[in-house]
Structure 1
Amino acid sequence: MHEVDVAIIGAGTAGMVAYGEVRKKTDRIALIEGGPFGTTCARVGCMPSKLLIAAADARHRLSTLPAFGIHSDAGTVDGRAVMKRVREERDRFASFAKDAVESFDQHHIVRAYAAFEDPHTLVLNAASDGTLPAFKRIRAERIIIASGSRPRIAEPLRAAGDRLVVNDDVFDWQDLPGSVAVFGAGAVGVELGQALHRLGVRVHMFSRGGSIAGISDPAVREVAVRILGAEIPSSLDARDVRIERDGNVVIVHFIDDDGVSRSERFDYLLAATGRAPNVESLALQHSGLALDARGVPDFDPQTMQAGDSHVFLAGDANANREVLHETADEGHLAGTNAMSFPAVYKHARRTPLGIVFSDPQIAFAGRTHAQLLTDGVDFAIGDVSFENQGRSRVMLVNHGLLRVYGEQDSGLLLGAEMIGPENEHLAHLLAWTIQMRMTVRQVLDMPFYHPVIEEGLRTALRKLLGVLGMGPHVPLSCIDCGPGV
């Protein structure tokens, strides 16, 4: 039996950050990892997907050149070269996490998979590479679960057999395929679907219920469906879907959004239907913890503590905020509170911020339209269309809609949802101002340069101020730039 003060299950972002915090206070640590070291982001998530998107965007920009009076015969796609760069740069990013792990005290590293035997005891099993741990059990005073997540695959999709892939597999392709059916119109499905389409792959995107990229504001969703649907063949409310194999071809039978029965043939089926926390193999029934309907321990997101126990959850394993900066925050909080246990401290979380790297980009900051309705908040809405926004039109990226939400009585800026050009930057500005608890008028008193896309945000905020009934905002005028400047 190996005894430690803290056992950390998982060496992704959350686990590594938690290790850094725990290491400040004790040398009695076990960092347990049975699979590959490193982060989902670097290996199969954020970074390789952005590499593929960058290649797709570079080619797409060429198609807009004639509108500027510029002509080019460039744009031929070398799929093998595209994927070679994706893999090489992906491996470079992943190596940083590997280097970080190698810098840890190697006496703390345990190559194994872990499962609970009782609330304080973990049983160890061989790692994915066959490595056997030096001991079979670890007893820990405190335990941090940071076991990450994996792609969720709906059972009917498995009929595609070995032609079924997830985003992890895409980044190991040696060449681009001829056609892909993308199932799921969330962030991963939209990003990869559009990127593959722009690189010359025939793509059809499938979903249910008309949702796209997690947008909850119906006006923003309508614009997003129109813009992305005009580019990518999509069935966002496909019904009676049936998957069939014919040799190396996947056949998708479905009723499309217009009620027409159709069948299409594809080289691959990409499942982008969300992620599931890696908790099934942890034998949590022996942990003494209360579990929710997903089998995840109930926990406080401001402390990461499961109930009042000695167990803490961090990162994708808790299925709470599955983005890297939040995962790192959770690792820090879990590590800090594990070392201070039984004294546990609450920490205010950052303002929610989400970005989908489609083109136009989709983003939200603060509370979403759906959250405000669910919480019964009395709020008003201001908006701006990017169709005639000055700088956007100059650059021929004038597509999209931004909607901002403000509280009726106080005038506080509460949140926003958007699709539009370079909205990753607007989303950051909005998240910062919301976290600072600024009112709509206070944000409008900040400087806005001219001509920039951010002027569109100012237009939406002016409208919101008027709807809130808090008087006009008197700006410097621009009589020659059109509406939405």
Structure 2
Amino acid sequence: MNVKDVDVAIIGTGTAGMAAYRAAKAFTNKIALIEAGEYGTTCARVGCMPSKLLIAAAEATHHARQANTFGIDVSGIKVDGAKVLERVRSERDRFVGFVIEAVEGFDADHKVKGYARFVDDNTLLIDDHTQIKAKRIVIATGSRPHFADLFYNAGERLLINDDVFELDALPKSLAVFGPGVIGLELGQALSRLGVEVKVFGRSGSLAGFQDPEIKNYAKATFNKEFLLDLDTELKRISKLDDGVEVEYINEQGLSVTESFEYILAATGRKANLDNLNLSLTSLVLDDSGTPIFDEKTLQTSCDHIFIAGDANAFIPLLHEAADEGKTAGANAGRYPDVQAGLRRAGIAVAFTDPQIASMGLTLAQIELAYGDNFAVGEVSFEGQGRSRVMAKNQGMLKVYGDKHSGEFLGAEMFGPAAEHVAHLLSWAIQQKLTVADILEMPFYHPVIEEGVRTAFRDLASNLNVSLVPHH
């Protein structure tokens, strides 16, 4: 058996692991970078990039079908599912290639292939071929789709998001379980490409919406395109020769039995921690089996072990994984000089149509921290000028501010160009701008951002503070 002694061992080469490696390398050259699977991040291989490619094809189809709104006749629209999926895979492989190229540029002596398991707090066994003694360790093992055992009854008719992009052709019908970001993005995209789609939830939640008015608006909007049932009790899944039979109780309390060609399980993700033998370490774990850690330093209860990215399930987004990886890697490299890393203003986007975005503190966080001492401003995009010009006039934005200081705290949006609005507003939050500061900013005419100004004017009218910029 090979034996390696290193200063830093990093488990995983996804977004967090790669960032951790680069950061640790600034402090030491005695590193083990361990990977069990193929190189290439979740985002590039099966996540954000291939899903956006599928969404782009769906948007092209939808725009062509909606052209008559503008007096333009586009006849004979035909979706070639095989070609759509070919482009998705081709472009996906290009993005993955960039990641692989980056990893290939890492020092070959640092890379170790195989599954890592803890033997004790400082020892890792890689398969049965290598033992690594590490002074510090970064856990960056990522996550995987997670669903109930009942879904296995579908056999090969069960899809997870990884599988969708490997299909040779688009399915005729699909039941999507899980109305989170993944389920909604893929469900709407496939629906617009001609697949008969129904999306089911069980707890009433929808894509992380916290404002009930915006959530109900979004639900009604999506239901115009495909069935979206947020309160389903799944009773049975049975495999058929040519598909899957699903029995469920719908939100009206009625028992329904339907058949679909495939089902997609998009009910959540689980951190890849269960095969690490964490029980052999002195790590303190929470109820879900995740090591308890400091959100600023990524340091666990075992102070030379750090955890970053989807493995800690704190904020499972690519840019957060990159930041966390950098923090964990740097702290592992310079240990025991452990420092707080960068935590940016919150920003999350779903690429549905209309798009979904949240910025800064969530409504629940604001209610907990401020009680009744916050105010709300809102705007509807139904009558907003630029949105109507583009026939994108659906949705609403709500912005939240401290009643007494006038500081902008957070926002939630379902509407056009939310991916761009989200950046503007998250930057404002990170700069700790007040409502008065924001209303002094330039707003061109006619643009969607004029709706942002309308929302902040509404917020300003509900504050207990004079509108004096703080500069």
The TM-score bracket by the shorter chain reads over 0.9
- Which amino acid is the alignment partner of residue 115 of structure 2? Y
Deviation at 1:472, TM superposition (A): 7.3
Correspondence 1:399 to 2:399? no
Deviation at 1:75, TM superposition (A): 2.2
CA distance in 1, matches of 2:364, 2:413: 14
Q: Give 1:324's aligned residue.
A: 318
Q: Give 1:460's aligned residue.
A: 455
Greater shift, 341-350 or 36-45, is seen at 341-350
CA distance in 2, matches of 1:92, 1:278: 26
Deviation at 1:471, TM superposition (A): 5.2
Correspondence 1:439 to 2:434? yes
CA distance in 2, matches of 1:18, 1:255: 46
1:205 touches 1:233 (CA, 8 Å); kept in 2? Answer: yes
- Which amino acid is the alignment partner of residue 90 of structure 1? R
Q: Give 2:202's aligned residue.
A: 208
Q: Give 1:99's aligned residue.
A: 101
2:283 touches 2:302 (CA, 8 Å); kept in 1? Answer: no
Q: Give 2:72's aligned residue.
A: 70
1:217 touches 1:370 (CA, 8 Å); kept in 2? Answer: no
CA distance in 2, matches of 1:42, 1:116: 28
1:150-165 equivalences in 2 (<5 Å): 150-165=144-159
Match of 1:300 among 294, 316, 328: 294
Deviation at 1:307, TM superposition (A): 2.3
- Which amino acid is the alignment partner of residue 144 of structure 2? R
- Which amino acid is the alignment partner of residue 273 of structure 1? T
CA distance in 2, matches of 1:226, 1:435: 33
CA distance in 1, matches of 2:244, 2:320: 37
2:12 touches 2:139 (CA, 8 Å); kept in 1? Answer: yes
Q: Give 1:141's aligned residue.
A: 135
Deviation at 1:240, TM superposition (A): 4.4
Deviation at 1:8, TM superposition (A): 0.4
CA distance in 1, matches of 2:113, 2:467: 63
- Which amino acid is the alignment partner of residue 352 of structure 2? S
Q: Give 2:15's aligned residue.
A: 13
2:403 touches 2:465 (CA, 8 Å); kept in 1? Answer: no
Match of 1:286 among 280, 291, 305: 280
Match of 2:331 among 318, 337, 349: 337
CA distance in 2, matches of 1:333, 1:228: 39
Greater shift, 385-394 or 246-255, is seen at 246-255
Q: Give 1:264's aligned residue.
A: 258
Deviation at 1:236, TM superposition (A): 1.1
Match of 1:422 among 417, 426, 445: 417
Deviation at 1:328, TM superposition (A): 0.4
CA distance in 2, matches of 1:9, 1:375: 36
Deviation at 1:470, TM superposition (A): 3.6
Correspondence 1:274 to 2:268? yes
- Which amino acid is the alignment partner of residue 312 of structure 1? F
Q: Give 2:227's aligned residue.
A: 233
- Which amino acid is the alignment partner of residue 167 of structure 2? W
CA distance in 1, matches of 2:467, 2:92: 50
Deviation at 1:153, TM superposition (A): 1.2
Q: Give 1:362's aligned residue.
A: 356
Q: Secondary structure at the match of 2:275?
A: helix
Match of 2:91 among 84, 89, 92: 89
Q: Give 1:31's aligned residue.
A: 33
1:183 touches 1:269 (CA, 8 Å); kept in 2? Answer: yes
Instruction: Tell me how large the CA RMSD over aligned residues is.
Output: 1.2
Q: Give 1:112's aligned residue.
A: 114
Q: Give 2:249's aligned residue.
A: 255
Q: Secondary structure at the match of 2:224?
A: helix
2:143 touches 2:311 (CA, 8 Å); kept in 1? Answer: yes
CA distance in 1, matches of 2:203, 2:138: 37
2:405 touches 2:465 (CA, 8 Å); kept in 1? Answer: no
* Total equivalences in the alignment: 465
Q: Secondary structure at the match of 2:349?
A: strand
Q: Secondary structure at the match of 2:377?
A: strand
CA distance in 2, matches of 1:104, 1:446: 44
Match of 1:43 among 42, 45, 67: 45
Deviation at 1:260, TM superposition (A): 2.1
Deviation at 1:301, TM superposition (A): 1.3
- Which amino acid is the alignment partner of residue 174 of structure 2? V
Q: Secondary structure at the match of 1:281?
A: coil
Unaligned segments of structure 2, at least 5 residues: none
Greater shift, 161-170 or 301-310, is seen at 301-310
1:52 touches 1:195 (CA, 8 Å); kept in 2? Answer: yes
Deviation at 1:358, TM superposition (A): 0.1
CA distance in 2, matches of 1:209, 1:111: 40
- Which amino acid is the alignment partner of residue 120 of structure 2? D
Deviations 1:162-215 (A, max 9, x none): 111100011111111111100000000000000000000010000012211111
CA distance in 1, matches of 2:150, 2:302: 40
Deviation at 1:407, TM superposition (A): 0.7
CA distance in 2, matches of 1:257, 1:370: 25
Deviation at 1:308, TM superposition (A): 5.2
CA distance in 2, matches of 1:168, 1:4: 34
- Which amino acid is the alignment partner of residue 30 of structure 1? A
CA distance in 2, matches of 1:334, 1:38: 20
Deviations 1:105-146 (A, max 9, x none): 1011000110110000001116xxxxxx4xx31000000000
CA distance in 2, matches of 1:347, 1:6: 18
2:435 touches 2:467 (CA, 8 Å); kept in 1? Answer: no
Deviation at 1:273, TM superposition (A): 0.7
Q: Give 1:80's aligned residue.
A: 82
Scaled by the length of structure 2, what TM-score is found?
A: 0.97
- Which amino acid is the alignment partner of residue 424 of structure 1? E
Unaligned segments of structure 1, at least 5 residues: 127-132, 474-485
Seq. identity, %: 52
CA distance in 1, matches of 2:221, 2:236: 27
- Which amino acid is the alignment partner of residue 56 of structure 2? A
